[in-house]
């Protein structure tokens, strides 16, 4: 008598090792003893310290996450998909499970009795070798060339102290992925995904990504009858797709997925959705194995309940920065990761402050970080620079609405102060009525700075023209950006003033190549790393980016990268400036961590001869970029 369920299980198992090494009849016998388990999302299959089961498991559909616990958090180690094996521990060890297995979505799992399977293991060396290699090499499939020996499995004891995670190693991803057009029929796309054994497909127009469809979309939208299998794929795709550049590190990829709540990232030539597709990154490409990694800190920031929680996270950041520097991680990677976590801390501080207000916000608003925070270059704990923009409201409501946001800003800035970000001595914070305005008032403010750029206006340009959206309605910030680019376009007077300001600090070497140090005051005989070296490079990147109409890029290294792309003839100068800035920022960060300061002033007597040579070499690009500014805007050092 036929057993259709057992036959269906057999037909599935024969496609995956080690079952593919067995005869159909042997598989059918195993399948008859199988239990079929249906797991709801977040339902647990087994937990850490549970007594081992009499079964091992094969994922038939869905996804099972394997996690460990550290500091009361569940840390995802791996995700098992269709055909993956888990729960092998009872074969080789008698102690309890060392991981938790939990469904990440609705899943079907085949539970295979170990006692029923053991005879086939003993009789088939290929099956035995597979299980031994899988258990010993920390993979769910030792024959998988992409994952062999790379994954942490349930036989590994989790240890915060001994674990060494390569946060910033470049992530490996699938290049030249299979794609589909928006007019392709769902049925044929699904057939392609099945035959190619892939769980997702990017939808493109002219090889530029416009969306993505995953096997989850097929289950939730097609299998449920929500859409016909004969509709075009654009009806069920998710859009827009999150795009990244090809030099992404593991930590950056993980943060992007957490930030946008997605499980796939599309790699494009320049990291935007307006360039050609080059690859796809999935959750399987990311391994998380340590509680203080950037992704987990980001997660902790999102669920912090008080300022003390946020302060603890910020203190962990200091350890992460030091650890990264010790491992010679590129400073550009460090600033990217720390910038995102700083942003998450600020965002959570705003959410907590809103909860403490007597009423919800009376109008749409946006919180902006300014200065070094706006450029995502704040590695050390320095002062706050922030602002609020709220939507235009009727004149009779303006004062009340502004007062609400001033009170909100007071709570936020106090929380950030408790976390460790000092109040700005110049009061350039959102709780100052000058920096809490409607979008129209902000537009008029920027027009004033741009079209009547006196000394004060230029000072404001160096702070308020480097901004980053943090929380609220981003359209309000975009409206300000649009005004800035409209008003600065071909504005010779503005660029003459801004250019002259960018030249006020020439390369910091004397005639005989000696360092120009502070001649008096508290920091006498020290070198002002920020004022004399970093700021000239920051100022130059700002004016040149504004003059080229570059939008939504505030980070200094990113600005130089974009300029090099737009002006190949000057690319060597821009690339040298980016490298010099990175080196100087590293000097400042190391100095700040060593002395628990902002790292601005260097004691040259404590530097090695090699470090002094490095510093002097970093000053040459300052001279070169200032020559570019002088020639472009027809300036001299004495303008």
Using DSSP bridges, classify how beta strands 64-70 and 55-61 pair: parallel, antiparallel or unpaired: unpaired
Mean pLDDT of 422-434: 93
The CA distances from residue 147 to 102, 137, 400, in Å, are 21, 10, 59
Position 321 pLDDT exceeds 60:
yes
Q: According to the model, what pLDDT value does residue 45 have?
A: 94
| Chain segment 147-201, per-residue pLDDT in tens | 433 333 333 333 333 333 444 567 778 888 999 999 999 999 999 998 888 889 9
Is residue 544 over pLDDT 50? yes
The fourth-level CATH superfamily of domain 294-488 is: Beta Polymerase, domain 2 (3.30.460.10)
Say what the pLDDT of residue 636 is.
65
Residue 179's pLDDT is what?
A: 93
Residue 35, classed as helix, strand or coil, is strand
In sequence order, what E strands does 152-207 have?
174-175, 179-180, 200-205
Residue with more model confidence, 531 or 261: 531
Q: Which CATH class is domain 4-136?
A: mainly beta
Kindly list the domain boundaries of the chain, sorted by start residue. 4-136, 174-285, 294-488, 499-633
Task: Report whether 48 contacts 115 (CB < 8 A).
Answer: no
Q: How confident is the model at residue 416 (pLDDT cuts 50, 70, 90)?
A: very high
Which range (70-74, 143-147, 414-418, 436-440) has the least confidence?
Answer: 143-147
Output 617 or 164, whichever has higher pLDDT.
617
Is the pLDDT reported for residue 638 higher than 50? no
State the fold for domain 174-285. Answer: CBS-domain (3.10.580)
Cα–Cα dist 333/339, whole Å: 10
Contact in structure between 497 and 449 (CB atoms under 8 Å) = no
pLDDT of 443 > 60? The answer is: yes
How sure is the predictor about 267, in pLDDT bands with cuts at 50, 70 and 90? very high
pTM score: 0.58
Task: Supply the pLDDT for residue 215.
Answer: 87
pLDDT for position 480: 94
Quick check: 10 and 24 in contact, CB under 8 A?
A: yes
72-76, 97-101, 292-296 — which is least confidently predicted?
72-76
> Are residues 75 and 289 in contact, defined by beta-carbon separation less than 8 angstroms?
yes
Contact 458, 499 (CB under 8 A): no
Q: What is the pLDDT of residues 224-248, one digit of tens each?
A: 889 999 999 999 999 889 999 887 7
DSSP code of residue 176:
S
Would you state the pLDDT for residue 291? 42
User: What is residue 290's predicted lDDT score, i.e. its pLDDT?
Assistant: 41
Nearest to 286 by CA among 141, 81, 77: 77
* Three-state secondary structure string covering 290-305: CCCCHHHHHHHHHCCC
pLDDT (0 to 100) of residue 279: 93
Is-same-fold flag (4-136; 294-488)? no
In degrees and rounded to multiples of 5, residue 420 shows phi and psi of 135, -5
Q: Give residue 133's pLDDT.
A: 57
């Amino acid at each position: 008598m036929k057993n259709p369920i057992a036959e269906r299980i057999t037909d599935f198992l024969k496609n995956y090792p080690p079952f593919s090494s067995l005869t159909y009849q042997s598989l059918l016998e195993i399948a008859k003893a199988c239990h079929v388990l249906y797991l709801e999302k977040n339902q647990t299959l087994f937990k850490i310290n549970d007594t081992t089961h009499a079964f091992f498991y094969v994922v038939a559909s869905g996804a099972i996450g394997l996690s460990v616990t550290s500091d009361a958090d569940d840390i995802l180690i791996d995700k098992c998909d269709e055909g993956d094996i888990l729960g092998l521990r009872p074969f080789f060890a008698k102690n309890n499970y060392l991981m938790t297995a939990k469904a990440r979505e609705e899943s079907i799992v085949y539970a295979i009795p170990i006692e029923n399977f053991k005879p086939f293991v003993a009789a088939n060396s290929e099956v035995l070798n597979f299980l031994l290699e899988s258990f010993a090499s920390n993979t769910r499939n030792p024959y998988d060339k992409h994952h062999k020996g790379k994954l942490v499995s349930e036989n590994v004891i989790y240890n915060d102290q001994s674990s060494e995670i390569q946060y910033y190693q470049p992530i490996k991803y699938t290049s030249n992925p299979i794609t589909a057009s928006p007019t392709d029929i769902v049925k044929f796309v699904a057939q392609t995904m099945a035959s190619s054994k892939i769980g997702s497909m990017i939808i493109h127009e002219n090889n530029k990504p416009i969306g993505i469809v995953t096997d989850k979309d097929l289950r939730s939208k097609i299998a449920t009858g929500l859409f016909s299998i004969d509709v075009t794929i654009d009806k069920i795709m998710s859009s827009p797709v999150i795009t990244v550049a090809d030099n992404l590190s593991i930590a950056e990829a993980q943060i992007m997925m957490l930030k946008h709540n997605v499980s796939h990232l599309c790699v494009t030539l320049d990291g935007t959705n307006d360039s050609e597709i080059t690859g796809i990154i999935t959750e399987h490409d990311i391994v998380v194995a340590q509680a203080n990694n950037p992704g987990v800190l980001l997660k902790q920031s999102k669920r912090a309940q008080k300022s003390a929680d946020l302060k603890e996270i910020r203190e962990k950041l200091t350890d992460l920065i030091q650890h990264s520097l010790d491992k010679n991680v590129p400073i550009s990677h460090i600033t990217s990761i720390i910038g995102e976590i700083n942003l998450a801390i600020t965002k959570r501080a705003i959410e907590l402050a809103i909860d403490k207000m007597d009423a919800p916000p009376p109008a749409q608003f946006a919180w902006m970080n300014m200065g070094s925070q706006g450029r995502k270059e704040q590695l050390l704990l320095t002062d706050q620079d922030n602002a609020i923009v709220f939507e235009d409201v009727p004149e009779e409501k303006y004062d009340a609405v502004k007062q609400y946001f001033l009170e909100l800003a007071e709570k936020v800035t106090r929380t950030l102060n408790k976390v460790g970000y000092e109040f700005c001595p110049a009061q350039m914070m959102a709780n100052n009525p000058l920096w809490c305005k409607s979008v129209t008032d902000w537009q008029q403010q920027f027009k004033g700075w741009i079209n009547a750029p006196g000394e004060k206006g230029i000072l404001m340009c160096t702070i308020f023209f480097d901004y980053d959206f943090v929380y609220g309605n981003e359209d309000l910030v975009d409206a300000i950006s649009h005004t800035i680019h409209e008003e600065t376009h071909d504005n010779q007077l503005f660029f003459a003033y801004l250019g002259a300001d960018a030249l006020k600090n020439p390369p910091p070497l004397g005639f005989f190549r000696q360092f120009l140090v502070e001649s008096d005051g508290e920091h006498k005989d020290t070198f002002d790393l920020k004022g004399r070296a970093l700021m000239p490079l920051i100022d130059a990147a700002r004016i040149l980016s504004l003059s080229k109409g570059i939008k939504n890029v505030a980070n200094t290294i990113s600005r130089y990268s974009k300029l090099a792309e737009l002006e190949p003839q000057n690319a060597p100068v821009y690339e040298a400036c980016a490298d010099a800035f990175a080196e100087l920022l590293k000097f400042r960060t190391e100095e700040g961590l060593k002395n628990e300061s902002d790292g601005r002033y260097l004691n040259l007597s404590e530097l090695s001869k090699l470090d002094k040579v490095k510093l002097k070499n970093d000053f040459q690009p300052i001279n070169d970029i200032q020559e570019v500014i002088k020639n472009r805007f027809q300036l001299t050092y004495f303008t």
